[in-house]
Structure 1
Amino acid sequence: MPLFWRKQEKVELPKRLTPLALKQAIAADPDGIRLLDCAFVPQPRPANYKYGRFDPDPNSESLKVFCNGHIEGAVHFDLALATCPTDSGQFDHYPKAIFERYAQMLGLDGNHQLVLYGRGLFWAFYASRVYWLFISYGHKGGISLLDGGLDEWVGKCRPLTKDLNAQEAASARSKKGNWRAMTEPSAKTVTFQQLVGGANAVDISRCKLLDARTQTEFEGNECAFEPLLTASHRAGAVNLCAMNFINAEGQFKSSAEIRALVQNSGLVIPADGKKLITFGNTGIQAAFLATMLDIEYGVQDVYLYIGSAYKGRNQQVGGGGFEVESRHRLAETFHDFKQTPMWVHLVQFAAAVAVANNDPRGMNFIREMEEYVADRNPYHSVDVVGRRPVLPEIPLQPPSNGARSSGTGYAGNTLSSGGWQDDEIFH
């Protein structure tokens, strides 16, 4: 797609951007383009985390990845700093006045053309989550995704630069931008409270629900983050797996392929005047799906559901029109899902990726982590490679919240059917 120059040599870029087109655009308008490196490694927020504070965490794995190599001129956009954990989800949006300060700290102006990129297998997921942040806040300049992410840039023999030295870092922080949010994020997002009839309730009858997870999760055969749970889907939802929009080389599929996927799902765009609400496990997959619909169709009525598909799984939403269809099982020693440390979930997720890619290094790492987990806390020992729980020989204790068992049995290291029927587990 050709590039178009506005007055004052302002570059207007397509939303899907190739490395060559990016190189040309930077040469044509270096001051008008801002590169945002969306490197993100899931990890618990630091102990000194404070709401609305954007001091970089020196122990951030995401920052370390950025410093190890990034496109020259890029700044690191840290999703963990730019969002906040709330009842709605891990990556909820700040009020616009707070997010403005973070964007300005990165040196962004309102008329900047933003080019976002990620890296690795999930490059498009995290970059898309940032994309939707700026969509939600009404960024007036253009927003583009670097097709294929950093790997594609490197593959085209484009150079990388290493971490900033102290002087350059200080200089970058001093260049405060004038970026302003035009809207509150609620303009392009939906919360669980809105779905259950809270403030600014959403009329479900006028919405189409799009599930961005894999087909196996949608059908209830597996759960991405927790092998002790089976997944579910919300009644009436259309399954449109976000991962299917990426080809084997890690790039966006062609426009014709994307439109075929949408058509085969049964989704009709425009959706007869209905709002399209995308959702997934934590909002990351959902953001990618919403972003792809925006890029490919330019539809205005796309909204991101902030939170997890498992929240309130047994509740009736929207006057009974949004009943959750679900199946789950849970070992009694895992009676409170929130007691399981975050690193256990991360190890399980890494295991799924390693198994899917037949990566021996990843498998070795997972086995080492299993031993580490068992040494540190046998109550959370998990056979993540086999995706089966390893239950320690300990006396059973009732759930702290008083929930009753529903058929769950314990016999040595095995798990029989059934589980705790407590919605709080899935929050």
Structure 2
Amino acid sequence: MSLKRLIDVGTVSQLLKKKIINNEGVRILDCTYDHTLVAKKPDWKRFQNELYGNFEKLLSKQCASKELYLSGHIPEAPHICLDLAMFPSEYERYALYPPETFQEYVQMLGINDDEHLILYSRGKYGGMLHASKFAWLFKAYGHEKLSLIDGGYEQWVKAGFTIDRDDVKLKRGAWKAVDNFSKYNVKFEELEEQHGIRIYIEYVDDLNLLDARVRGQFEGTVPTECPPGVVGTHIPGFKNLPAAELIEDGVMKSPEKIKAWLGLQHFNPNRPTVVMCDVGIQSAMVAYAIETVFPRSPIKVYNGSIREMELRNPKRISATFENV
């Protein structure tokens, strides 16, 4: 079945009525995540020793995100959790598992190869923040048949459609992951790699360097939560394109408005793009939106984002709003 990258709740309702979801190669996943957990990074050493890739044990733990899901969700949608799909590493709040490990979790959710995945979440950013992260994550593991529900769970409720409170469990799937990391993500080491006379991240005239954090963090008018020693509020050369500004009246802006928004920062779709944010979530939403309006534009997310940079090369975060 062919579905657009962004679909409305009415389309999803029809797919459910026709019993296409979970029956005809289409799955729906609830990507709900309690965003307060972002600031609560687990001890990475302890996690690696006790919980890394142990999905049965992780699923048995009390989960605030799962509780939100059980408070109400779209029918037929199992819950997929960021705290299981990714792991805390030394430098990253959410690091990518090797393909064979992520594959195990996805199979537990009942996903198979070549199925079309419809993703949604809830909360701010039109309920698409964490769904976008999962979309970019699935792309990194080789799965391209993806759609986001425009406006997320809130739009579903607003439309008056039926909600479910059961914990949806599907028969184990046979989905296979591949390593497509380098196509959709860029590592710290690559950004800091010498290319000719400059470090890669310093080629500001040849790259679209985008920071998806809110303007207050980028400009330093609200706390950035960077540790002492970080003198700036963003990395020189990066332009601010906040993910929050993609949303209008609870849904994604039109392609025309997104293109105009990108144009304000002189975005060039023919140049390679690097998108970063705080911990790699907002950046995925901006990347997904750009890819929607410029499908051939080469875009990569810096997954570690500013939290990794402040630990590994804090001097790089030297720009302030005054010296932009």
TM superposition score normalised by structure 1: 0.64
- Deviation of 1:57 after TM superposition, in Å, equals 3.7
Q: CA deviation at 1:310?
A: 4.6
Which of 95, 99, 102 is the matching residue for 1:96? 99
**Alignment CA distance shift 1:224-1:128 (3 Å):** farther
Residue 263 of structure 2: aligned partner? 263
Match of 1:297 among 294, 299, 316: 294
2:234 match: 233
Deviation at 1:20, TM superposition (A): 0.9
- Matching residue of 1:145: 148
Provide the identity percentage: 29
1:34 matched to 2:38? The reply is no
Shift of 1:190: 1.3
Instruction: Please tell me the root mean square deviation across aligned C-alpha atoms, in Å.
Output: 2.8
Q: Quote how far apart the aligned CAs of 1:178 are.
A: 1.3
**Kept after mapping to 2: 8 A contact 1:315/1:324:** no
> Which residue in the other structure is 2:2 paired with?
12
SS in 2 for 1:283: coil
- Relative to structure 1, is the Cα distance of residues 134 and 217 closer, same or farther in structure 2, using a 3 angstrom cutoff? same
Provide the aligned length of Structure 1 versus Structure 2: 299
Answer 1 or 2: higher relative contact order, Cα 8 Å, separation at least 6.
Answer: 2
- Give the drift of 1:244: 0.4
Moved more, 102-111 or 177-186: 177-186
Q: Deviation per CA, 1:271-311, whole angstroms, max 9, x where unpaired? A: 2xxx2110001111111111111122113411110113154
- How far did residue 148 of structure 1 move? 0.5
- Provide the secondary structure at the position in 1 that maps to 2:55: coil
- Post-superposition Cα deviations, 1:29-50, rounded to whole Å, max 9, x if no partner, equal 3322111101111434598751
| Unaligned 5+ runs, structure 2 | none
Contact preservation (8 Å) 1:38, 1:78 = yes
Q: 1:20 and 1:53, CA in 2 relative to 1: closer, same or farther beyond 3 A?
A: same
1:143 Cα deviation from its structure 2 partner: 0.4
The corresponding residue for 1:107 is 110
1:75 corresponding residue in structure 2: 78
The one-letter amino acid paired with 1:38 is: C
Answer yes or no: is the 8 Å Cα contact 2:27–2:116 preserved in 1: yes
- Residue deviations 1:350-391, cap 9 Å, x none? xxxxxxxxxxxxxxxxxxxxxxxxxxxxxxxxxxxxxxxxxx
Q: Displacement of 1:212 after TM fit? A: 0.7
- Which residue of structure 2 lines up, in the alignment, with residue 52 of structure 1? 53
| Paired residue type of 1:135 | K
- Please state if 1:181 is matched with 2:182: no
Assess, with a 3 A threshold, how the Cα gap between structure 1 residues 84 and 312 changes in structure 2: closer, same or farther.
same
Structure 1 residue matching 2:123: 3-state secondary structure: coil
**Bigger radius of gyration, 1 or 2?**
1
3-state secondary structure, aligned to 2:251:
coil
Structure 1 unaligned spans of 5+ = 1-10, 328-427
Q: Aligned with 1:233: secondary structure? A: coil
| Alpha-carbon distance in 2 for matches of 1:311, 1:63 | 27
Aligned to 1:362: none
Distance in 1, matches of 2:233 and 2:139, equals: 29
Structure 1 pair 57/294, CA: closer, same or farther in 2 (3 Å)? Answer: farther
Secondary structure of the 2:29 match is strand
1:115-264 alignment runs, 5 A limit: 115-122=118-125, 123-140=127-144, 142-164=145-167, 169=169, 172=170, 175-197=171-193, 203-204=200-201, 205=203, 207-225=207-225, 232-247=233-248, 249-264=249-264
SS in structure 1 at match of 2:93: strand
C-alpha distance in 1, partners of 2:309/2:103? 32
Structure 2 distance, partners of 1:315, 1:37, is 34
In 1, Cα distance between the equivalents of 2:185 and 2:309?
18
Q: Which amino acid aligns with 2:27?
A: R
What's the secondary structure of 2:88's corresponding residue?
strand
Whole-angstrom distance in 2 between the partners of 1:231 and 1:24: 50
The reply on whether 1:279 has 2:280 as its aligned counterpart is no
| Cα distance, 1:163 vs structure 2 | 2.5
SS at match of 2:252: coil
**What's the secondary structure of 1:144's corresponding residue?**
strand
Matched with 1:406 is none
More off after superposition, 24-33 vs 177-186? 24-33
Cα distance in 2 for partners of 1:16, 1:145 equals: 5
Alpha carbons of structure 1 residues 194 and 202: separation in structure 2 relative to 1, 3 Å: farther
